[in-house]
Amino acid sequence: MSAVSRGEFDGLRGRTAEREVRIYAEALSKQFQVKKKTVTALDNVSLTVHEGEFVSLVGPSGCGKTTLLRIIAGLETPTAGTLTMQHKNPQQPLNSMVFQEHAVFPWMTVRKNIAYGLKMRHVPKVTTEKIVNEYLVKIGLTKFADSYPHQLSGGMKQRVSVARAFANDPEILLMDEPFAALDEQNKLTLQQELVRIWEETRKTVVFITHSIDEAIFLSDRIVVMTAHPGRIRSTFQVDLPRPRKIEEVRSNPYFHDLFFEIWSQLKEEVHKARELEGIEGGA
């Protein structure tokens, strides 16, 4: 049995002492059929994400992170389990996704790309212009407002992609390794920009990354997944003060302790994933 309900919410489960629950995934499993073989991508995954919480998922490659995010986005149906999402304001989109790359429309200028979601929702032109201008400033691309994506660097394109997702004002943002393809300097700059925008907007975010540094810097909570098939292995609360600055976070001894704690668990899962690959590869 699987069920995905959007907009309805069980009031009893829907509240904790502090914050409302926005995403409630209960015992989700997902299997794919590949050439008569069954691939179990997710196995009994339960996850709760609260209002205004920034949650990151980390786990070895192929453990089911993207599958879980796609189920939350409504792009994939779970084979078993239930997913409940709270959609508070029907005027706002429930969620938007930001991908690793190719997320901007090449035939549209930066300005039009950022305005896209608002235009689709028929937001008045004056309001759209105001929001787009705000985001152009936030991401430092005012001078490139009328440029096309092919005239931008990879980092700039990813900025546009992040700005477009925030400008569309979804209740929940789902980000699948949005900075993975960037060089280190661009990555650090975009992480800092994302933190700044997020600290202003406090959107509910589920963020996938392979980088423990990135997860700690951005998140309120980090969920470590097991090697294939994906299960939840453990959850870490990130008790670092906000607003956060990369330099301050990285020089905080707590950052290093947390990094090694997460890595000690992730390392085991990465090794398991490698062994599995070996078995599947016939080694």
Ligand X SMILES: Nc1ncnc2c1ncn2[C@@H]1O[C@H](COP(=O)(O)OP(=O)(O)OP(=O)(O)O)[C@@H](O)[C@H]1O
Interface residues with ligand X (CB under 6 A)? Answer: 32, 34, 39, 41, 59, 61-67, 228
Q: What does the DSSP assignment read for 226-266?
A: PSSSB-EEEEEE----SS--HHHHHT-HHHHHHHHHHHHHH
Which is nearer to ligand X, 75 or 120 (by Cβ)?
75
Which is nearer to Mg ion, 66 or 84 (by Cβ)?
66
Q: Closest distance between ligand X and the C-beta of residue 281, in Å?
A: 13
Which is nearer to Mg ion, 73 or 167 (by Cβ)?
73
Q: Closest distance between ligand X and the C-beta of residue 4, in Å?
A: 17
Query: Which of ligand X, Mg ion, none does residue 77 bind (CB under 5 to 8 Å by kind)?
Result: none
Q: Of how many residues is the chain composed?
A: 283
Write out the binding residues for Mg ion, residues 49-68 only, by CB under 5 A.
66
Q: Closest distance between Mg ion and the C-beta of residue 66, in Å?
A: 3
Q: Is 209 in the site for Mg ion (CB under 5 A)?
A: no
Which is nearer to Mg ion, 64 or 118 (by Cβ)?
64
Query: Which of Mg ion, ligand X, none does residue 34 bind (CB under 5 to 8 Å by kind)?
Result: ligand X
Reply yes or no: is the peptide bond before residue 243 cis, omega within 30 of 0. Answer: yes
The answer to whether residues 118 and 139 touch, using CB atoms and an 8 Å cutoff, is no
Query: Which of Mg ion, ligand X, none does residue 17 bind (CB under 5 to 8 Å by kind)?
Result: none
What burial letters (b/e) apply to 242-274, b meaning 16+ CB within 10 Å?
A: eebeeeebeeeeebeebeeebeebbeebbeebe
Cα–Cα distance measured from residue 151 to residue 282, given in angstroms and rounded to the nearest whole number:
46
Cα–Cα distance measured from residue 226 to residue 108, given in angstroms and rounded to the nearest whole number:
40
Query: Which of ligand X, Mg ion, none does residue 56 bind (CB under 5 to 8 Å by kind)?
Result: none
- By the criterion CB under 5 A, which residues form the site for Mg ion? 66
